[in-house]
Structure formats: structure tokens, C-alpha cells
Amino acid sequence: MQISKLTCPHCQSPYPLWRLLIRCRSHVCPRCKSKLAFTIESAQRLGATGGLIGALILLPIILICGPIIIRSWVFWLFLVVFSYIAGGVIRAFVCRFAPYEQVRASAKRWQLFTNVSPRHRQFLLLGFSVLLAYMILALFARYWPILIWLVVGMSPVVMVAGILSSIAGWHWLFGERGILRRGGSDDAD
């Protein structure tokens, strides 16, 4: 029984799971020796799934042990080892291979958030940029007291941008052509 759903697009032979855990860079089919790569849609789906799984695991750890756990080296060692192993296993379930040359050609035409409408793309970029600006202001607010008023004054803007980017994020992940939606993905099963 094969655990991984990864197969070579040329010869349809299954790709071994252990190679996903050992190899980081290039993938070569063990049977026909063709060079393989993950599609952009697969990489997006891997990032979204890995981020959700990581958040679901780290949130209870931080809530139970407190934020002080982030300063310990044991936490970071666990995080690195878990991320490496989980990344290989998640790749086996959510990614698909394509010929390397085809992936390289499509990567040259790559754009950010291609699976959402232009309006939702603007909402996502607005949400990310406002959140980044708010985090930078909040980081430096304790050194310059005038920035505290900017942080407080920006709170309604951050809330509106957060709501708009949450709506766009829903479409990005689960919408008609969402990353985590099976029907609109690169599955050709």
C-alpha cells in the first residue's frame, strides 16, 4: 500500500515517501530518471496547509506553557525538527509533481494571489501592508511615546483592513479557485 499520492507524470510510478524526507532540492523519478518539481499550486497548498497545521499545534503549546517558552532553545529545536518532518509528510499528501521544465516555464509568469479576483488581491495586499506597518509602529512605540498615539489611532484602520483581508483570505483559501479546494486544484486524478 502506498501512503504518498505522488507519482511521476511521465511513467506514473509512485515516488517513495522517504525521498521526500531526505531530499530538499531536486526530485528525480527512480524509474525513468526524469527531473521533477512541484507545481506552483502545490507549493501554495503546501504553505497554506503547513501554516494551518503549525498554528494549530503551536497555539496550544504557547497557551499552556506561556509565551516564555518561545525563549527556550528546546522549543526552537522542536520547531525545526517538527517542521522538517511534517513538511515532508504534508508534501506527500497535498502536492503533485510536474516535469521540471514545465514548472520552470510557468514560474516565470508567476504572480501573487492569482486565484482570487483583483479586488480580493488588493484587499489581501492592503491587509498585509497595514498589519506590517502596525507591527512596526507597535514595536517602536515604547521607545518613542508619540508613536503610542499613532498605534491607538490606527486601530480602527487595522480592524477594517483585517475584516477586508479576512474576507479575501477566505476566497484565497476556500473560494471558487481556492488553494485548499480540491476541485480547482492541480489534481488530475
Using pLDDT thresholds of 50, 70 and 90, give the confidence band for residue 42. Answer: confident
| 8 Å CB contact between 165 and 159 | no
> Does 168 have pLDDT greater than 70?
yes
**Per-chain mean pLDDT for the chain:** 77
- Mean pLDDT, residues 125-152: 78
Using pLDDT thresholds of 50, 70 and 90, give the confidence band for residue 24. Answer: low
CB within 8 Å of 46: residues ≥ 6 apart: 38, 87, 90, 91, 94, 95
* Max CA separation in the chain (angstroms): 65
pLDDT at 25: 66
> Does 66 have pLDDT greater than 70?
yes
Where is pLDDT greater, at 30 or 112? Answer: 30
CB within 8 Å of 35: residues ≥ 6 apart: 26, 27, 28, 99, 100, 101
Q: Where are the domains of the chain?
A: 17-107, 118-174
Distance CA 69, CA 59 (A): 12
| pTM for the whole structure | 0.57
